[in-house]
């Protein structure tokens, strides 16, 4: 018997995943990393089409065998700028061996280029060291908070900020 090739399907959000997304993201934030982030602090997830699939923004899902294993979102900030949001990968599917995070990021970057976005910003928690390494390896540069456009996409736990010029 041989292992079937690991297949990941990355596609834009569809309502079939609406209920799973809150649980998926909150579990990683609260249980895995102990971040003091609540469902109430993330009302954007209650209406993904209304909050993310607007203007040049979008929200993508990574799935394997019909199971949600990753998310990433892009918020249109106007003027060719956007914010990378809600990038989460299930712990069992992280790392180079699976390539889920990279596939999610590539889907976002392709979309951004196709929609004439030039600058992508993000904020992240200090505890997410693997995420910092991932962003830096993929062309993001750490910047001061003052270099990042203000907006509701910045969470209270965000203490490190990054910029990617496309």
Residue 108 is part of a domain; what is its CATH number?
Answer: 3.40.630.30
In the chain, % of residues over pLDDT 90: 78
Q: What pLDDT does residue 121 have?
A: 97
Tokens representing residue 122 in the block: 């993000």
Is residue 3, in this structure, part of any structural domain at all? no
37 band by pLDDT with thresholds 50, 70 and 90:
confident
Mean pLDDT of 136-146: 97
Rounded to whole angstroms, the Cα distance separating 148 from 146 reads 5
Is residue 109, in this structure, part of any structural domain at all? yes
Q: Which domain holds residue 129?
A: 9-165
Is residue 4, in this structure, part of any structural domain at all? no
Is residue 2, in this structure, part of any structural domain at all? no
Is residue 107, in this structure, part of any structural domain at all? yes
Is residue 146, in this structure, part of any structural domain at all? yes
Contact criterion met (CB below 8 Å) for 71 and 59: yes
Which one is predicted more confidently, 6 or 148?
Answer: 148
Q: What pLDDT does residue 3 have?
A: 36
Q: Which distant-in-sequence residues (6+ apart) come within 8 Å of 162 by Cβ?
A: 121, 122, 123, 124, 135, 136, 140, 141, 142, 143
Total of domains in the chain:
1
Is residue 95, in this structure, part of any structural domain at all? yes
Rounded to whole angstroms, the Cα distance separating 100 from 76 reads 23
Q: Are strands 119-124 and 81-89 parallel, antiparallel or unpaired?
A: parallel
151 band by pLDDT with thresholds 50, 70 and 90:
confident
């Amino acid at each position: 018997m041989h292992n079937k090739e690991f297949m990941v399907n990355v596609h834009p959000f569809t309502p079939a995943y609406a209920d799973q997304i809150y649980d998926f993201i909150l579990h990683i934030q609260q249980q895995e990393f102990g971040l003091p982030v609540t469902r109430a602090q993330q009302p954007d997830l209650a209406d993904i089409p209304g909050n993310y699939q607007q203007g040049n923004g979008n929200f993508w899902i990574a799935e394997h065998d019909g199971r949600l294993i990753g998310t990433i979102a892009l918020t249109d900030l106007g003027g060719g700028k956007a914010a990378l949001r809600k990038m989460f990968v299930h712990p069992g599917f992280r790392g180079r061996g699976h390539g889920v995070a990279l596939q999610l990021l590539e889907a976002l970057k392709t979309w951004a280029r196709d929609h004439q976005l030039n600058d992508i910003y993000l904020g992240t928690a200090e505890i997410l060291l693997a995420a910092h390494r991932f962003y830096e390896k993929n062309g993001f540069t750490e910047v001061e908070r003052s270099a990042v456009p203000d907006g509701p996409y910045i969470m209270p736990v965000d203490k490190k900020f990054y910029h990617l010029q496309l």
